[in-house]
C-alpha cells in the first residue's frame, strides 16, 4: 500500500443526522427492534470515550468481541478508526490470545474476564496494559477483585444500550469501584424516576428507573413509532428500563432490569445481581462438596 497516494475525487461529508447503522436489540423484552443510529451519535459517543479513557493514536486495542453489536463494532472497530489507534481482533476472546497480544487497552464482557481471571498466567501478562474495560453486563465483584490482584488493574466498567450507545463509564483518571459503572460521559444527562414518574434522589441508596438524554441517543426504532412513543418521555428522555442508584458523587450502580431482575422482600427492593454477588463472595463458592 502506498500511503502517499491520494484519491483524485472528493465527496461531501454526509449529514451528521444521516443513519450510519441499523443494529437490532437483543429482544430481552420482546421481539428484536431495529435501532437507527446516526453518524452524529456515533461520533459523540466515541469522542466522549476518548475523553474518559484517554484514548489516543498510540493505543493498541485488543478484543475478540462479535462485530455486530455496539461493543464489538462501534467501540471495538469504529473507535480505533475514529481515533487513529491500532486494533488487534484476536478472533475468539481466549485468555492466551489476550495475553499474547501486548495491547494497551483490552475490551471484554464479564464471561471473558471470568475466563481471564481463571487463567492466572494469562491474567498476569496483562499487567503491561493501560486499561482493561468491561461492559455489556454487570461484572461480578469477585471477578473484579481477582483481576485487580492478578493484573494490577482495577477494571473500568461502563454502561450503555444499543439505543443510547455508551452513556456512563468509569474514567481512566477516576475511581473504579466494583459494582458501579462510573459517571456520566461529557454531554450526557441522567436521572432516576419512580414507578409514577416522580424524581428519585441521587443519594446512592434510593432506586429508580434510569432515564438518559444527550447526543449519543439513537434516532428511533425502524418503522416502529409505537415503540418510539413507549420508550421516550414527553420531554425527550429515553427510558432505559434499568433500575439504578446514583450517588452524590455522580457514580451509577445498575441494579437490574425493572421487568425481570427486581425482588421485593419485606418492603425492600433487591436486585438479582446483588444476590449473585453475595453468593459469589461466599467462602464456599467454587468448592466441591
Would you state the pLDDT for residue 11? 86
Q: What are phi and psi of 265, to 5 degrees?
A: -145, 120
Residues 6 or more apart whose CB falls under 8 angstroms from that of 130 comprise 59, 104, 105, 172
Using 50, 70 and 90 to split pLDDT, how confident is the model at 31? confident
What rounded mean pLDDT belongs to the chain?
90
Nearest to 30 by CA among 185, 224, 183, 219: 224
Exposure string for 155-171, b = 16+ CB within 10 A, e = fewer: bbbbbbbbbbbbbbbbb
Walk me through the domains of the chain, giving residue ranges and CATH numbers: 19-280 (3.40.50.12780)
Q: What is the CA radius of gyration of the chain?
A: 20
Encode pLDDT of 255-266 as tens digits. Answer: 987 655 555 554
Q: What is the pLDDT of residues 37-57, one digit of tens each?
A: 999 999 999 999 999 999 999
* 31, three cell numbers: 421481539
192 or 278, which is more confident? 192
- pLDDT higher than threshold 70 for residue 289: no
b or e along 89-116 (b: 16 or more beta carbons within 10 Å of the residue's beta carbon)?
bbeebbbeebbebebbbbbbbbebbbbb
Element (H, E) at 133: strand 131-134
Contact 163, 232 (CB under 8 A): no
Quick one: average pLDDT of 65-72?
94
Average pLDDT over residues 233-253: 94
Max alpha carbon distance in the chain (Å)? 71
Amino acid at each position: 500500500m502506498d500511503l502517499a497516494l491520494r484519491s483524485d475525487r472528493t465527496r461531501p461529508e454526509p449529514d451528521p443526522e444521516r443513519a450510519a447503522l441499523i443494529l437490532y436489540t437483543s429482544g430481552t423484552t420482546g421481539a428484536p427492534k431495529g435501532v437507527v443510529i446516526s453518524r452524529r451519535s456515533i461520533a459523540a459517543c466515541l469522542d466522549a470515550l476518548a475523553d474518559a479513557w484517554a484514548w489516543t493514536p498510540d493505543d493498541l486495542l485488543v478484543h475478540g468481541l462479535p462485530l455486530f453489536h455496539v461493543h464489538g463494532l462501534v467501540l471495538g472497530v469504529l473507535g480505533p478508526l475514529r481515533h487513529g489507534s491500532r486494533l488487534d481482533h484476536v478472533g475468539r476472546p481466549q485468555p492466551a490470545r489476550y495475553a499474547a497480544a501486548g495491547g494497551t487497552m483490552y475490551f471484554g464482557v464479564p464471561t471473558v474476564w471470568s475466563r481471564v481471571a481463571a487463567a492466572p498466567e494469562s491474567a498476569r501478562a496483562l499487567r503491561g496494559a493501560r486499561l482493561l474495560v468491561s461492559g455489556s453486563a454487570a461484572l461480578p465483584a469477585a471477578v473484579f477483585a481477582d483481576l485487580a490482584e492478578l493484573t494490577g488493574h482495577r477494571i473500568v466498567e461502563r454502561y450503555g444500550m444499543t439505543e443510547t450507545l455508551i452513556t456512563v463509564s468509569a474514567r481512566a483518571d477516576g475511581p473504579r469501584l466494583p459494582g458501579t459503572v462510573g459517571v456520566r460521559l461529557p454531554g450526557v444527562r441522567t436521572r432516576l424516576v419512580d414507578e409514577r414518574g416522580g424524581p428519585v434522589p441521587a443519594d446512592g441508596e434510593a432506586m429508580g428507573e434510569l432515564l438518559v438524554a444527550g447526543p449519543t441517543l439513537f434516532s428511533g426504532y425502524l418503522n416502529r413509532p409505537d415503540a418510539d412513543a413507549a420508550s421516550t418521555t414527553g420531554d425527550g428522555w429515553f427510558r432505559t428500563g434499568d433500575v439504578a442508584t446514583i450517588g452524590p458523587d455522580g457514580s451509577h450502580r445498575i441494579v437490574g432490569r425493572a421487568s425481570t431482575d427486581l425482588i421485593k422482600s419485606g418492603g425492600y427492593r433487591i436486585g438479582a445481581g446483588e444476590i449473585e454477588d453475595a453468593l459469589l463472595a461466599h467462602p464456599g463458592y467454587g468448592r466441591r462438596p
